[in-house]
Amino acid sequence: MKMFPKLTLSDAQLIMQACERKAEEMGVDMCIAITDDGGNMLQFKRMDNGRVTSIDIAMGKSFTASAARKSTRAYGEISRVDGPAFGINTSNQGRFSIVAGGLPIFVDGQIVGGVGCSSGTPDQDEEVARAGLDAFQASLKSDKLHALHAVRRANASMGCID
């Protein structure tokens, strides 16, 4: 049996909040989608002025990033007419996205999900997605540090040397 980390709803909420803050800071209302490792929706939000046409695009970006384990920008670069992945955007019932704004989420080298944003330019979309990913990674580092300190305190209370 293989054991691996899973993205929780709390994780998705943390990512969503960071994405929203970044979008507000940029002055661009976004559609933001967060999926699990299989591309299944965990959380979605359309900010007040997020484009209705961006709903499916954000979902597709998040699906692609998590299910294909690569950024949508990277797929866009290799799916040009002369590229090795030309036409890949027609796969998966058209859900596969090749426009920047979708980023995979990894924990300890394992895919746990994806975040996809749409309503701005592709660069703005990716910047908002990156803010969510960065906040999640920072929370993981903080959690690991707290766990390490707890182990050290427990060892010290038992007279164990670190």
pLDDT at 152 over 60: no
Fold (topology level) of 9-157: Beta-Lactamase (3.30.450)
Residues 60-79 have pLDDT tens digits of: 999 999 999 999 998 778 67
From CA 162, how far away is CA 152, in angstroms rounded? 7
Question: What string of DSSP letters covers 68-88?
Answer: HSS-HHHHHHH-STTSTTTTG
The structure's pTM equals: 0.84
Burial class (CB in 10 A: 0-12, 13-18, 19+), 7: buried
Measured from the Cβ of residue 107, the count of other Cβ atoms closer than 10 Å reads 17
The model's confidence at residue 6, banded by pLDDT at 50, 70 and 90, is: very high
The model's confidence at residue 141, banded by pLDDT at 50, 70 and 90, is: confident
**Tokens describing residue 149:** 């300190």
